[in-house]
Amino acid sequence: MSQQQRNEKEEKKCRGWGEWWWSDRLDAVGWAAIFIWGALVLLAQTTNFAANFSWWNGWSVFFTGAGVIVLAEGVIRLLIPQLRRRVVGCLIFGFILLGIGLGDLGWFWPLVLFAIGVIILVKVFARRH
């Protein structure tokens, strides 16, 4: 294989990843929203705005918000048939993030594990053949 053929092959790989990233705009919007949410939480921490709230824990607030964003993405994927790829992974990841954020509540982790189990069972038994 010549150097030119190898370069063309590499370009196709890079283009494929780039096309995948931008073809799934909902995923890109979700990640952008998570970064913006993180910036807002960090801004609240550094400007002492968070000091006004006794319950504030920056990491918990960040992970809770990120979980809500990912779960919202999963719900949108469920509602729009063209976007139904990777719904189960999206929902599971969202519940894990939410569990990390709200894990201090004690009762929330069992609820998260239960929800993940139900999602997996629904996926297994609702599989189309």
Tens of pLDDT, residue by residue over 48-72, are: 898 888 888 999 999 999 999 999 9
pLDDT-derived band at 73 (thresholds 50, 70, 90) equals very high
Mean pLDDT to the nearest integer, 99-104: 88
Kindly state the helix (H) or strand (E) to which residue 41 belongs, with its residue range: helix 25-46
23 CA to centre of own chain: 17
Residue length, the chain?
129
Question: If you average pLDDT over every residue of the chain, what do you get?
Answer: 84
Q: Tell me how far apart the alpha carbons of residues 119 and 38 are, in angstroms, rounded to a whole number.
A: 27
Judge whether residue 5 has pLDDT over 80. no
Tell me which residue has tokens 């809500």.
Answer: 68
- The whole-angstrom separation of Cα 71 and Cα 59 is 18
Tokens of 52: 């006004």
Residue 126: closest CA among 88, 77, 94, 99: 88
- pTM of the full structure: 0.75
